[in-house]
Amino acid sequence: MSNRKAISLFIKDEAYRLGFMNCGIAQARFLAEEAPRLEQWLKDGKHGKMLYMENHFDKRLDPRKLVDDAKSIISLSLNYFPSEEPTNKEYLVSKYAYGEDYHDVIKSKLKLLMNSIREKFGDVGGRAFVDSAPVMDKVWARESGLGWIGKHTNLLNKKQGSFFFLAELIIDLECEYDVAMQTDHCGTCTKCIDACPTQAIVAPYVLDASKCISYLTIELKNEMPTEMQGAYSNWIFGCDVCQDVCPWNRFSIAHHEPKFKPNNSWFNFSKKEWDELTKESFEVLFKHSPIKRTKFEGLKRNLMNCKL
The residues carrying an active-site annotation are 131
- Opening angle at CA 134, ends 132 and 140, nearest 5: 100
- Contact between residue 140 and residue 29 where contact means Cβ atoms under 8 Å apart: no
